[in-house]
């Protein structure tokens, strides 16, 4: 007759063994999933399809392999995804979408910047436009203001696109937007940015184009925060950004979801010029809150408290109501 105590110990051992297997396979699935998602990016597979393939394959992996074999299998998939990541190379020779097809360039002589390929499209909808690339010159001694524009994604209070704009005494404004450079048929994605699938571009253009598109056609919320800074710093920062844009002609770079995105890239340039760099605050990682950070640090040119400033500097509704494309920059600030 079987000893009841031995039977109980056997059951406990079976349950521990089963629990160990469940935890082991669960721990292995996450790196497997991410490796398949990355590999899918390299062969043009959408994230949804790559995730579905991972889910469909995983039961067969569990059925056919032991835990030890599963570790080796997942390690191999991770190594392949890392190798694919390291083999990616940025390029200027792709079939670019027309709105980012041209790289801006700058000639700097004394206090004058001569710019080529500034974007000044006429948008009739969020996807339709008359293409127009312009050349212009700017006197750096005439810089009179600098603004940061925060454009939240949809209704999000965390994710946002960030741009800078430099104002001059003659009323012109030069906007700068660090963006991805997608190919025709390619879309922005967090995973694509992390997997070196999107090149980086410093897009310079008119506010009428870069902000008009977002306000009038994409119907984004837009906040225009005036910065409390001197003309000397604004000049140095503009030169820094122009030099970075020029460098991309010879050294194409990838956009990176965290390290080289619209906000962290601009912050990196700002910090190169500051004796006391701005740290990586939570608001930098969630740039829809960037205005609040700038207000708290005393960088906004305002006496308003933050709730009042946030309301006052939201510009999309008033521009949509009273917009005049010929005096668009003035409408932003009235």
Residues 239 and 293 occupy one common structural domain:
yes
At 3 the pLDDT is 56
At 18 the pLDDT is 64
- Answer yes or no: is 93 within a domain: no
Q: If the chain, 334 residues long, is cut into consecutive pieces of 10 residues, what is the mean pLDDT of each piece?
A: 51 63 87 93 89 93 91 95 94 95 95 96 95 97 96 93 96 96 89 90 97 95 95 96 96 90 93 88 92 95 95 92 78 84
- Domain range for 72 is 4-87
Residues 163 and 195 occupy one common structural domain:
yes
Residues 129 and 175 occupy one common structural domain:
yes
Number of compact structural domains in the chain: 2
Answer with the one of 55, 87, 119 that is the final residue of a domain.
87
At 16 the pLDDT is 66
At 191 the pLDDT is 86
Who contacts 165 (Cβ-Cβ below 8 Å, separation ≥6)? 146, 147, 148, 149, 173, 174, 175, 176, 207
Residues 49 and 161 occupy one common structural domain:
no
Residue (of 154, 155, 146, 157) closest to 292 by Cα position: 157
Residues 72 and 149 occupy one common structural domain:
no
Residues 159 and 134 occupy one common structural domain:
yes
Give yes or no for a contact between 211 and 332, defined as CB atoms under 8 angstroms apart. Answer: yes
CA 85 from chain centre, in angstroms, equals: 19
Residues 126 and 245 occupy one common structural domain:
yes
Answer with the one of 54, 87, 120 that is the final residue of a domain.
87
Tell me which residue has tokens 């056997």. 10
- Answer yes or no: is 92 within a domain: no
At 203 the pLDDT is 98
Residues 166 and 62 occupy one common structural domain:
no
Residues 165 and 291 occupy one common structural domain:
yes
Residues 301 and 165 occupy one common structural domain:
yes
Residues 65 and 127 occupy one common structural domain:
no
Give yes or no for a contact between 249 and 117, defined as CB atoms under 8 angstroms apart. Answer: no
């Amino acid at each position: 007759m079987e000893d009841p105590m031995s039977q109980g110990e056997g059951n406990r051992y079976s349950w521990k063994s089963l629990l160990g297997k469940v935890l082991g396979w669960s721990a292995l699935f996450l790196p497997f999933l991410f490796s398949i998602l990355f590999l899918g990016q390299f062969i043009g597979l959408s994230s949804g399809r790559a995730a579905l393939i991972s889910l469909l394959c995983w039961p067969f992996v569990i059925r056919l392999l032991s835990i030890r074999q599963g570790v080796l299998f997942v390690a191999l998939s991770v190594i392949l995804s890392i190798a694919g990541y390291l083999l990616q190379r940025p390029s200027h020779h792709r079939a670019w979408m027309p709105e980012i097809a041209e790289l801006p360039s700058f000639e700097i002589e004394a206090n004058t910047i001569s710019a080529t390929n500034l974007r000044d499209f006429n948008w009739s909808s969020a996807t339709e436009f008359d293409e127009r690339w312009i050349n212009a010159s700017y006197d750096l001694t005439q810089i009179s203001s600098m603004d940061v524009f925060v454009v939240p994604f949809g209704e999000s209070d965390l994710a946002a696109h960030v741009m800078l704009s430099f104002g001059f005494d003659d009323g012109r404004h030069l906007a700068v937007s660090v963006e991805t450079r997608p190919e025709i048929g390619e879309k922005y994605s967090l995973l694509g940015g992390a997997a070196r699938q999107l090149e980086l571009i410093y897009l310079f253009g008119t506010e009428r184009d870069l902000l008009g598109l977002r306000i009038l056609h994409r119907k984004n919320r837009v906040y225009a925060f005036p910065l409390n800074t001197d003309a000397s710093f604004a000049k140095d920062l503009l030169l820094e950004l122009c030099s970075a844009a020029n460098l991309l002609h010879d050294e194409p770079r990838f956009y990176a979801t965290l390290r080289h995105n619209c906000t962290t890239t601009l912050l990196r340039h700002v910090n190169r010029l500051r004796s006391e760099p701005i740290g990586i605050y939570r608001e930098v990682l969630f740039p829809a809150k960037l205005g609040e950070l700038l207000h708290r640090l005393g960088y906004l040119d305002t006496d308003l408290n933050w709730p009042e400033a946030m309301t006052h500097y939201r510009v999309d509704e008033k521009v949509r109501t009273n917009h005049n494309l010929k005096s668009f920059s003035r409408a932003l600030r009235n």
